[in-house]
Amino acid sequence: MFNEEALVKEFNFKGIRSSGAGGQHVNKVSSKIELTFNIQESLVLNEKQKEVIAYKLSNRITKDGLLILQCGESRSQHRNKNIAIVRAVQLLKSTLFVEKKRIPTKIPKAVIIRRLKSKRANKERKANRRKPNLD
């Protein structure tokens, strides 16, 4: 599909201040990571892959063609960077994954006969529960 190591080298990272618990530490340290990836200028992806990503991820891509992901789960900037990389690669892989076309199979005749036989048996069982017609 694509070379992950070369793709990761094309990612740009920026540390930004994170919100949440941490007290004064949060106000001093930029532990949140913002990952940006310019899809159109990528050398790892071919043109068809770029088109597929642009189409499928159109709601997550900016007008400039940047895919932006943020991660502030951890208090560690290094851990947040690793989480963002894994998420970005996983997102791109799932976007480019093509499912196999389902080939419909013919239902075997024995299965059809068995189904109809069980329906008939069920119908007779329920008919025997009814009150007899005395007319």
CA distances (Å), origin 28, targets 13, 14, 46, 84: 19, 15, 41, 22
Tell me the one-letter amino acid at 22: G
Question: Can you give the pLDDT at residue 4?
Answer: 84
Question: Can you give the pLDDT at residue 106?
Answer: 95
Using alpha carbons, select from 55, 51, 24 the residue that is nearest to residue 40: 51
pTM of the model as a whole: 0.70
Protein fold of 4-96 = Double Stranded RNA Binding Domain (3.30.160)
Q: What is the mean pLDDT of each run of 10 residues along the chain (135 residues)?
A: 85 84 70 91 91 92 91 87 93 92 94 98 92 79
CA pseudo-torsion sign 76, 78, 84, 86: negative
Question: Can you give the pLDDT at residue 21?
Answer: 67
